[in-house]
Amino acid sequence: MNRLQFHFLILFCLLALSACGFHTRGVADLSFHTIYVQNGGTIMPDLKRLLLNNKVKILPAPDQAEMLLEVMKETTEKRILSLSGGGKVKEYELVYRITFRTKQAGSELWSEPQTVEDMRDFSYDDSQLLAKDYEEARLYSDMRADAARKIMRRLSALKNDQPSAAN
């Protein structure tokens, strides 16, 4: 392969990459700039990071906030998926579930409660107890981060001109 062919190959690859439409996600299109989060729970650090990245100020009191978000319930579950021939657990299913509702400033009505759920499977081995405990904690952390992103997508779907549904 001579130099000219190599340069054409590189140029072709760059043109193909730029033509694919790839771009970073950027910020969400939110209809509010301030929010009050009630009962944040363990998802609050992930949610706070996403809100701050989207230039939304989290207020300590609800009276000045444009949007109110209430975390109603946050649960984790661990189910047995499979057992070995000796009756020992070989695989678990982890479930993270969060229920929340929103209310826009000036509205007396809360939205219908919405639930975000995420699941992960993982293999289990009694001989690697510490590693499996760490893996479980890491999976729950990842599920919280995913749930926070899902909540942000739902918040970006809210518009000020849409009335909130009654609870």
Residue-wise pLDDT for 69-86, tens only, equals 999 999 999 999 999 998
- Rounded mean pLDDT of 94-110? 94
Percent of the chain with pLDDT over 90: 66
Q: Does residue 126 belong to any structural domain of this protein?
A: yes
- Which pLDDT score, from 0 to 100, does residue 48 have? 95
**Residue 17 located in a structural domain:** no
Q: List Cβ neighbours of 123 (8 Å cut-off, separation of 6 or more).
A: 90, 91
Two structure tokens written together for 97: 């579930």
Is residue 1 one of the residues assigned to a domain? no
pLDDT of residue 25: 53
- Say if 18 falls within a structural domain: no
In a domain, 108, yes or no: yes
Domain count, the chain: 1
Q: What is the pLDDT of residue 27?
A: 60
Is 21 inside any structural domain?
Answer: no
Across 90-94, 122-126, 156-160, least confident range: 156-160
Report how far residue 82's alpha carbon sits from residue 53's, in angstroms, rounded to the nearest whole number: 41
Predicted confidence at residue 21, as pLDDT, reads 61
Instruction: Look at 108 and 23; give whichever has higher pLDDT.
Output: 108
pLDDT given for residue 165 in this prediction: 45
Find where tokens 């109110």 sit. Answer: 68
Question: What is the DSSP pairing of strand 89-104 with strand 34-38?
Answer: unpaired
pLDDT of residue 166: 41
What's the pTM?
0.76
Q: What's the whole-number average pLDDT of the chain? A: 87
Task: Print the domain residue range for 68.
Answer: 29-157
Spatial contact of 25 and 150, defined as CB atoms under 8 Å apart: no
Average pLDDT of span 6-25: 69
In a domain, 133, yes or no: yes
Please tell me the distance from the alpha carbon of residue 43 to that of residue 41, in angstroms, as a whole number. Answer: 5
CATH number at residue 146: 3.30.160.150
Give the per-residue pLDDT at 11: 77
In a domain, 135, yes or no: yes
